[in-house]
Structure 1
Amino acid sequence: MSVLTTPIAGAAGTAGAAPDAPAPAAVARGVVKVYGRGATAVRALDGADVVIPAGRLTAVMGPSGSGKSTLMHAMAGLDRVDEGSIRLGGTEVTGLSERQRTLLRRDRLGFVFQAFNLVPSLSAEENITLPLRLAGRTADRAWLDELVATLGLGDRLTHRPSELSGGQQQRVAVARALVTRPEIVFADEPTGNLDSRHGLALLAFLRRAARELGQTVVMVTHDPTAASFADRVVVLADGRVAGELTDPTVPTVLARMAGLEQQPAARAEV
């Protein structure tokens, strides 16, 4: 079964873009996600509107409880929403069945999580190519070799995860996310388990993937240094977009977040 697509009317002009601008990679409009019911209900997303440009590295930030991880999971088709619209390319995600969303994630998306989620019994190369095997596809050897060389994994391909350092495991996870040439890579705190050296190297690679390889990357992070590698930062507060930063730097990110964190925290992280 394939995931049907339909054109996005007016997508090229979304958010004030020029008429000949490329269509965005993803668009969320009026997204609401509520956990619980009655007096204990939590509105993790409360009418969020987000446009993700294609071929760019976008960071999503916000105080604890802002809904940044919930937004990423919703846009990636991992969680259903209660209201609103989410489109990936020409596909309306909110109307898909569970099977269609599974196929969407398998065939068109890549994921990098803080927990590496590698299969212990497989070698590094087998872990990298696992999404292709699950989809019944063969690896593009030139692309695989480029990923392996860029990420410095050439002498580790036969090693199992237990024989790799944390940094090497994360680089395997990144290669796995990119090996299918996905439309979008979603990265949730990808440097959280890495030391500073390996973390900076990973961020530099994600930025290169966007700027030189045209890969769209959406990265949830709480780290101003990580956000400074992005082309753009989307800031969430109380389940809504509270602002954006273009060409962010550590000082501009810190200043923007300082203003938000002065507000009273209303709920736990979601």
Structure 2
Amino acid sequence: MAAEAHDLVKIYGRGDTAVRALDGASVTIPTGTFTAVMGPSGSGKSTLMHALAGLDTVDSGRVVLGDTDLTALDERRRTLLRRERLGFVFQSFNLIPSLTAAENIALPLTLAGRPVDQDWYEELVATLGLAGRLHHRPAELSGGQQQRVAVARALIARPEIVFADEPTGNLDSRSGEALLEFLRHAARDLGQTIVMVTHDPRAAAYADRVVFLADGRVTAELDDPTADAVLAQMARLDAPARIGG
């Protein structure tokens, strides 16, 4: 397994205002798979991703990345682990405005003092269609091009897992589909492990598997999803809330 979460509990606030964002959530992330995480607003999906990625601590439970227990690490070691072993793609592209596309892609390796694997770099650039844009700065790129640069940056160091938080949220439908096609290709053909939080059933249908959360718990999983099957499962999750008012 690339990652496992066991009985995660995360509480924000205290007393009457306390919110249990995670309430015993458990999930496994197989190596080389593309997993989508979905759930109603407030279900805990982003909190779960942040816990899996070591971006946030939990109140109880364990997160294991490979053979490393993240919940046993202090903040300094979690930061080092994120830099060396994980990749991130966010809804906002988070590119450095003063750097070219090529420099943004290589940034994780530059910060780590590691050389660029030129063959891997060229494969990413070619597959993502960025060859003609490498010397452009972010302001000179379209939203879709900026997000593809962000994906290349996330993959350049060959991380154990790439975490993507609503990666198509700021893209038009065509750019979003192209990005999702690449993420699926990265998992199926390149062996990359990807975890994506999304609210879009069409985006989730590109994944190998969808994990559904409700009230801070994993309530269902769906293999080989279709958009219709995802919609049907989401409707079942929403039904109790509607019935209860």
**TM-score, L = length of structure 2:** 0.98
Equivalent position of 1:78 in the other structure: 55
Where do 4+ consecutive residues of structure 1 move more than 4 Å? none
Equivalent position of 2:194 in the other structure: 217
**Post-superposition offset of 1:207:** 0.3
Structure 2 residue runs of 5 or longer lacking an equivalent are none
Equivalent position of 1:45 in the other structure: 22
Structure 1 residue runs of 5 or longer lacking an equivalent are 1-23, 266-270
**TM-score, L = length of structure 1:** 0.89
Equivalent position of 1:66 in the other structure: 43
* 2: CA distance, partners of 1:62 / 1:38: 26
Matches within 5 A, 1:12-27: 24-27=1-4
**Post-superposition offset of 1:133:** 0.6
1:147-183 alpha-carbon deviations (Å, 9 max, x no partner): 0000000010000000000000000000000000000
**Post-superposition offset of 1:38:** 0.4
Q: 1:92 aligns with which of 58, 61, 69?
A: 69
Task: Give the aligned residue type for 2:164.
Answer: A
Task: Give the aligned residue type for 2:137.
Answer: R
Q: Per the alignment, in what secondary structure is the counterpart of residue 255 of structure 1?
A: helix
Task: Give the aligned residue type for 2:84.
Answer: D
Q: 2:154 aligns with which of 177, 182, 196?
A: 177
Equivalent position of 1:147 in the other structure: 124
Q: Per the alignment, in what secondary structure is the counterpart of residue 47 of structure 1?
A: strand
C-alpha root-mean-square deviation of aligned residues, in Å? 0.7
* 1: CA distance, partners of 2:20 / 2:113: 39
Q: Larger % of helix: which?
A: 2
* 2: CA distance, partners of 1:264 / 1:248: 24
Q: Per the alignment, in what secondary structure is the counterpart of residue 133 of structure 2?
A: coil
Task: Give the aligned residue type for 1:162.
Answer: A
1:165 aligns with 2:142: yes
Equivalent position of 1:230 in the other structure: 207
**Post-superposition offset of 1:261:** 1.2
Task: Give the aligned residue type for 1:86.
Answer: V
Identity %, equivalent residues:
73
**Post-superposition offset of 1:263:** 2.2
Q: Per the alignment, in what secondary structure is the counterpart of residue 263 of structure 1?
A: helix
Q: Per the alignment, in what secondary structure is the counterpart of residue 135 of structure 2?
A: coil
Equivalent position of 2:177 in the other structure: 200
